[in-house]
Structure 1
Amino acid sequence: MEDGWECETFDPFSNELLCDGKRDCPLAIRNADQRRFNHDEDPRICAHRKHCPTTNDRLNIPQSKVCDGVLDCKDGSDETVVEISGKFRSKVCNGFIDCKDGSDEYSKTCTKQGRFNCSALNGAKMFNGFGDCSDWSDECPTKSSRANENVFSSRYELIANPVLRTVVWIMAFLAIFGNLVVMVTEMKLLVTTESQSASFQTNHLLVLNLSISDLLMGVYLLMLGVAGVQYSGDYCANDLVWRSSQRCISMGILVLLSSETSVITMVLLTAFRLYAVKNPFNAPYFPKLKIITLSIILSWTFSFTLAFIPLTSQFQHLFETKAWMKENPFFKSHVVDFSSMDTFMKRFVKFRHNFTINDSQTLDGTLLRVQNVYSWADFVDILEDYNYTELFDITGYLGYYSTNSVCVSKLYVTPTDKAWPYSLGIITLNFVAFMFVAVAYVWIYKRSAASGRQVNERARNARAEKQNQEMQKKIIRLVFTDFFCWVPISIMAFLNFGGTTVPPVIYAVSAIILLPINSSLNPLIYSNAPKMLYDRVRKRLRDVGRRQQPHDNRRVNVAVVAEAAL
């Protein structure tokens, strides 16, 4: 830096103040050759420093402060993409966001380099089944006419609706805690009660069984809530990983196992109560314990069978309709459906001369094998015979329990769904079960009321009337909850199958609220646990009141004595 700089105001000036980022000369400055500059921080003088366009305390900064991650210039120009491009070229448009605002990966910056911005995709790259973006945002963008097709999940969350996410945790707690209380209560009654009639054992064993089956629903809800937290923020990138996982399949099995065992237990409980009311003299002796035990075992066996049928290889072509494959040259998507694979395989074997095959296999024999394929495992076996499995790397399968992010089987089917007879059959079974329970309890109530009118008036007023009232309340609660849980699901399933489209939000509410809440409330309705808890709390409050009463009487007595003395 040359010497001889002086301010036009003739103020004292030292060369150390030149290009320090602050204006020290109020007016212009001249060098030894009398060349005039606007001020001591003029860009012509300080060309070796980064100039800050916006006027502030800092007119320029050292080049070492450019792209250091700190905004030194007031307008932030020292940390822009332009500056990064000059200093950190390798970090611009490299597919990773290095700037906090993502400006190093802006589409305007990266288009010139043949790259694209994932938040501004359109055309063929969207919804093509491939994760072109690292976060798979091209497959579930937030701004698109198809963004709301998935009623359960979103680009960021496994359960998109925050209200439903909260409901999952609340219902999980209520289902687990409530059913555990009922289980302990029922087991205690069965163990401690000395003289037990057959009807007593039947009622409490079936309620215990009902609480166990509904506890599984609580476990499912807890697992769903944990998964939501695990994938929160980047669910879309993990959608296929989650839905094809064994955990998701296990949760789907829990839902079906819990709901169907609950329905069957309700039917058994209603049937045995119906028998007891119709045959009151045989009720203390029938049914026998072995009949109840056998009924419970058969209910679980039937539910297990229903839950595991979709996983059997014989029916895989109906239930596991899609496979998740890594990128291959034959399909345009990572997700390949069973029918597309079947069509491809028939063409594949016809052009077998392009591949290596075993000499013992003939074209007709191979075509016969393809025509008799019923599972993805059969496809894999054929591909192994051709030694060509490396191009068909199947990562996972999407089936009956993988149609949505909450791992619930498809409730509302259409005739185009391959497994519609199975799903519609389960819905019909549940609807018929509810109708039986509702009609049976109405008959039980009427029969009980009629029996009450035939007994002695004094006994009727004392005990029979109270029992009838309790029965009436229980029937009203039962029919009310079942009606608003199972019947809407069944009716909407029938309407959807008939061609009436069910709104997507109704599907989400049915799967996350109606289905779990029904299973969670059943044991509380059937058992005496709520009443026992209420009586215990009421007794405690009454005891506290009695302890306080003597003190109040003492105060009254003291006041009376004082008044008499006066």
Structure 2
Amino acid sequence: MKVSLLVVLICLVAIPSVKCCTSSQYQCNNGQCIPASKLCDHVTDCSDGSDEIRHVTGFKCPMGARGYTCVLPQRLLSDNATQCTDGADLCRPIRGVPTCNKCVAANVTLTSEQMCDGIIDCPDLSDECLCDITNAQTLCNHMTFGQVIYCDNNTKTVTHSKVCDGTIDCADMLDERYCRHTAAKRIKSCLSHNRTTINAFDCDGILECGDLSDECNSSCTNVPAFCSVAPNYASDGNRSFQCAGNSSRNISFYAWDICDGIWTPCNPRIQQEEINCPARFYCSGGNPISIDDWKVCDGVKNCLNGSDEINCTDRFYCVSGNPLSVPLSYMFDGYDDCSDGSDECPPALDTNLYSSRHEMIKNVGIKIWLWVMAITGLIGNTTVFLYTLKTLRDTKQSTLSKGNLYLILNLNVADAMMSVYLLIVGIKSIEFSGNYCFVELSWVTSVTCESIGSFAALSAQVSLFTLVIMTSQRLYSVYYPIRAMSARLRWIFVALLSVWCGFIVISAVPAMDANLFVDGLWIPSKYFISPIVRSSQLPHIVSTLQFITETTRFLPITTLHSIEAYLSSGQFASRGRFGFYSENSLCVPHFFTPATDNGWQYPTLLVTINMFAFTYVAIAYFMIYRKSVNKDLKSNQGSKHLRVMQKRVTKLVIANFICWLPICVASYVQLALPNEFSHSLFVVTAVFLFPINSVVNPLLYSDVFENLFSKVKGRIYNATAPENAIELSSAT
């Protein structure tokens, strides 16, 4: 005896990595080995009872030959062998992400299915009380500092360790109410078949007490049919039951065998054993004939023909079929619960007009348009920039003309920046091709996305306000031509410097003021239904974490920086910020912000300023046009100049209105709507509206392309001139 005990001690303490039991056995907490088939079968085989642990905190999964659910010791989760019939204890990662989860303050591992399921599985209560949605919210609302909960109308406190420990400590049963799938009118203590005291849920459809008193009593609305015939088969002081008939008289069965979906081999069969059982789902064929209601639509075919998993409207069916399905709440939560990740990237995403599971921009026409606009804008602005530099260097210009040329150079730089933005978007679209959905969150919350978003915003703003300066200069020169001739260039440089400095700051503001512009943090966790935890949720999460982990009251943590710092030390470390430039895959500034979002005043003010700016440009050019009409109408040359200006001004105004009017209107409309516009509007803004000025401005504000066209036209005419002369002489 001493030798065997010494072997057990060596096995469990000295070299815990060594298995004392074979692969077909289960090792009890005391080192005893029992057949794995006897695990969790309602019969205590381990002398310490560790093979039949239920309804307490810990890692739970189906075990043994009958597939009942029990608590698996934490030490068996790292032995590379499985005791769970579904293999959940192996915690196999999907695409490098573990499928098991850790409690916050307790060193306890759980399955993903145990998170936020309304049942307390973590000794620190974190698996439910940190969740966005949980059926155990009543319990969580009674948490306070010191790792305790209030119960009995706030007259008593119990520590977290006493919640779901199998002992009722609160008269209102709050400490043991959220420990299993079924609900109950009350919890009662009774004797099981082996005369041990257990806590049974009254009237939940599951027979637990040896004498069936938890379900066969007058307080239950629906009682199993077996209750009416139980006295006919009772034995052992009503702790067990025996079949009738000579051939099976020695066969005994117990409370848990009744209404469990499997017939006891009595001959003749006791019909009441498995019919009219409350809280059961009856399979359409095969064995078992029924299952617990809570197992219906759980992603596992518990019925032989799978009838329990058909038409589950609250489930998403994995494309791979492994598992069969997952709760709808698991979709887009940042974790691959389906082996192929289809719960995060479902086929429905392919119905989007502009993007898909595999492509950031799936529409070939839009891709071509993006590249054409990017390359055309870059070539056009570079050409005009070089031509304007050459003009400044090679020809003598008046101060007024020089000012105009410097403004054109500035406009070229700003518009070329937009082309660079489009090129980066195009390159990223190619980089993410075939795998976009799985990298979307890391992309939109990245520094690169935020940088090119602010880059595009800076380009659009500088371009527009360069037009404002250019328009103001032309308006001044038309109404005050003599004063304009003596104007100094420094005023233009001061204006341009102010525009650049001002909008560099304005474009960077969303990145600098996190409290105002960050809508949420990217925190992938099974505690939350979305990987993007909104800013409004963060204070509650922090306070709950303090209830769970702290023994004394701490000062409130409210600013985003302090929240990030507090969360960074645990499993809730932020992997990125979700803000002004992260709302869409193209990193377009979030001009379309509902009044309920953080920092909605910023884009509204910016859009309003822009609306006044392009309206001013339109009115100013109309005034320039009218002034020119009065001045040049008498001369033919003036009429020709007037027609040229009229066309140019018309194109300019149309280009500005096409670019900014839709953005302004959509932004104002969004303020009045509770839900945000679809992703399509951001695509239209980035690919169609923003590039308009980038491509059109070089054509309107410089005569380089007009002169180039005239030269080409002249050369064509000269090349055909001899033929024209021969035809003319022949005709004479």
Normalization by structure 1: what TM-score? 0.68
2:367 counterpart of 1:165: yes
Q: Select which of 387, 407, 410 maps to 1:185.
A: 387
Residues 131 and 525 (structure 1), Cα distance of their counterparts in 2 relative to 1, 3 Å cut: farther
User: Deviation of residue 393 (structure 1)?
Assistant: 2.7
Q: Select which of 397, 404, 421 maps to 1:220.
A: 421
Structural mapping, 1:495-510, within 5 Å: 495-499=669-673, 505-510=680-685
1:137 corresponding residue in structure 2: 342
1:380 corresponding residue in structure 2: 564
Residues 135 and 489 (structure 1), Cα distance of their counterparts in 2 relative to 1, 3 Å cut: farther
Do the aligned residues in 2 keep the contact of 1:401 with 1:408 (CA within 8 Å)?
yes
User: Deviation of residue 292 (structure 1)?
Assistant: 1.3
How many aligned positions are there?
421
Question: Secondary structure of 1:336's partner?
Answer: strand
Residues 262 and 398 (structure 1), Cα distance of their counterparts in 2 relative to 1, 3 Å cut: same
Distance in 2, matches of 1:285 and 1:546, equals 46
Structural mapping, 1:349-428, within 5 Å: 349-353=546-550, 363=553, 366-367=555-556, 370-371=557-558, 373=559, 375=560, 377-383=561-567, 389-428=569-608
1:126 corresponding residue in structure 2: 331
Distance in 2, matches of 1:408 and 1:326, equals 24
Residues 352 and 505 (structure 1), Cα distance of their counterparts in 2 relative to 1, 3 Å cut: closer
2:509 corresponding residue in structure 1: 309
User: C-alpha offsets along residues 366-408 of structure 1, whole Å, 9 cap, x if unaligned?
Assistant: 22xx13x1x2x32233356xxxx13123222222111111111
2:693 counterpart of 1:521: no
2:665 corresponding residue in structure 1: 491
2:615 corresponding residue in structure 1: 435
Structural mapping, 1:24-35, within 5 Å: none
Residues 301 and 135 (structure 1), Cα distance of their counterparts in 2 relative to 1, 3 Å cut: farther
Task: Judge which range, 503-512 or 277-286, deviates more.
Answer: 503-512
Residues 245 and 260 (structure 1), Cα distance of their counterparts in 2 relative to 1, 3 Å cut: same
Distance in 2, matches of 1:343 and 1:94, equals 30
Question: Secondary structure of 1:216's partner?
Answer: helix
Do the aligned residues in 1 keep the contact of 2:444 with 2:578 (CA within 8 Å)?
yes
Counterpart of 1:277, as a letter, is V
Structure 2 unaligned segments of length 5 or more: list them. 1-91, 96-298, 307-315
Counterpart of 1:266, as a letter, is L
Distance in 1, matches of 2:542 and 2:525, equals 17
Counterpart of 1:300, as a letter, is W
Residues 278 and 94 (structure 1), Cα distance of their counterparts in 2 relative to 1, 3 Å cut: closer
2:134 corresponding residue in structure 1: none
1:470 corresponding residue in structure 2: 644
Residues 94 and 432 (structure 1), Cα distance of their counterparts in 2 relative to 1, 3 Å cut: closer
User: C-alpha offsets along residues 515-555 of structure 1, whole Å, 9 cap, x if unaligned?
Assistant: 222332123211112211211212221332246567x48x9
Structural mapping, 1:445-464, within 5 Å: 445-453=625-633, 457=634, 460-461=635-636, 463-464=637-638
Residues 236 and 136 (structure 1), Cα distance of their counterparts in 2 relative to 1, 3 Å cut: farther
1:293 corresponding residue in structure 2: 493
Residues 326 and 183 (structure 1), Cα distance of their counterparts in 2 relative to 1, 3 Å cut: same
Residues 247 and 197 (structure 1), Cα distance of their counterparts in 2 relative to 1, 3 Å cut: same
Distance in 2, matches of 1:546 and 1:282, equals 47
Question: Secondary structure of 1:233's partner?
Answer: coil
1:56 corresponding residue in structure 2: none
Q: Select which of 642, 655, 659 maps to 1:481.
A: 655
User: Deviation of residue 255 (structure 1)?
Assistant: 0.8
Residues 213 and 279 (structure 1), Cα distance of their counterparts in 2 relative to 1, 3 Å cut: same
2:542 corresponding residue in structure 1: 345
1:50 corresponding residue in structure 2: none
Residues 234 and 183 (structure 1), Cα distance of their counterparts in 2 relative to 1, 3 Å cut: same
Runs of at least 4 residues of structure 1 off by over 4 A? 93-96, 110-116, 119-122, 500-504, 547-550
Distance in 2, matches of 1:179 and 1:527, equals 10
User: Deviation of residue 333 (structure 1)?
Assistant: 3.9
User: C-alpha offsets along residues 76-104 of structure 1, whole Å, 9 cap, x if unaligned?
Assistant: xxxxxxxxxxxxxxxxx9979xxxxxxxx
Structure 1 unaligned segments of length 5 or more: list them. 1-92, 97-109, 355-361, 561-566
User: Deviation of residue 163 (structure 1)?
Assistant: 2.2
Distance in 2, matches of 1:426 and 1:151, equals 29
1:87 corresponding residue in structure 2: none
Greater share of helix residues, 1 or 2?
Answer: 1
Distance in 2, matches of 1:280 and 1:546, equals 43
Distance in 2, matches of 1:527 and 1:131, equals 54
Do the aligned residues in 2 keep the contact of 1:424 with 1:493 (CA within 8 Å)?
yes
2:522 corresponding residue in structure 1: 324
User: Deviation of residue 480 (structure 1)?
Assistant: 1.5
Residues 395 and 94 (structure 1), Cα distance of their counterparts in 2 relative to 1, 3 Å cut: closer
User: C-alpha offsets along residues 147-198 of structure 1, whole Å, 9 cap, x if unaligned?
Assistant: 76x775321111233322221111111111111111111111111111x222
Counterpart of 1:418, as a letter, is N
Structural mapping, 1:38-77, within 5 Å: none
Residues 541 and 304 (structure 1), Cα distance of their counterparts in 2 relative to 1, 3 Å cut: same
Structure possessing the higher relative contact order (Cα contacts under 8 Å, 6 or more residues apart): 1
Residues 240 and 478 (structure 1), Cα distance of their counterparts in 2 relative to 1, 3 Å cut: same
Do the aligned residues in 1 keep the contact of 2:378 with 2:419 (CA within 8 Å)?
yes
Do the aligned residues in 1 keep the contact of 2:333 with 2:525 (CA within 8 Å)?
no
Question: Secondary structure of 1:323's partner?
Answer: strand
Question: Secondary structure of 1:282's partner?
Answer: helix
User: Deviation of residue 282 (structure 1)?
Assistant: 1.8
1:543 corresponding residue in structure 2: 718
Question: How many percent of aligned residue pairs carry the same amino acid?
Answer: 31
User: Deviation of residue 123 (structure 1)?
Assistant: 3.0
User: Deviation of residue 332 (structure 1)?
Assistant: 4.3
User: C-alpha offsets along residues 400-452 of structure 1, whole Å, 9 cap, x if unaligned?
Assistant: 11111111112222111112111111111111111101111111100110112
Residues 133 and 296 (structure 1), Cα distance of their counterparts in 2 relative to 1, 3 Å cut: farther
Do the aligned residues in 2 keep the contact of 1:151 with 1:508 (CA within 8 Å)?
no
User: Deviation of residue 116 (structure 1)?
Assistant: 7.6
Distance in 1, matches of 2:406 and 2:93, equals 64
Distance in 2, matches of 1:241 and 1:441, equals 45
Residues 94 and 340 (structure 1), Cα distance of their counterparts in 2 relative to 1, 3 Å cut: closer
1:230 corresponding residue in structure 2: 431
Residues 424 and 152 (structure 1), Cα distance of their counterparts in 2 relative to 1, 3 Å cut: farther
2:408 counterpart of 1:207: yes
1:89 corresponding residue in structure 2: none
User: Deviation of residue 504 (structure 1)?
Assistant: 5.4
Residues 331 and 491 (structure 1), Cα distance of their counterparts in 2 relative to 1, 3 Å cut: closer
Question: Secondary structure of 2:347's partner?
Answer: coil
Distance in 2, matches of 1:434 and 1:253, equals 21
Counterpart of 1:381, as a letter, is A
Distance in 2, matches of 1:541 and 1:133, equals 66
User: Deviation of residue 326 (structure 1)?
Assistant: 4.2
Question: Secondary structure of 2:483's partner?
Answer: coil
Distance in 2, matches of 1:247 and 1:135, equals 28
Question: Secondary structure of 2:522's partner?
Answer: strand
Q: Select which of 474, 484, 488 maps to 1:283.
A: 484
| CA RMSD after TM alignment | 3.1
Distance in 2, matches of 1:305 and 1:119, equals 49
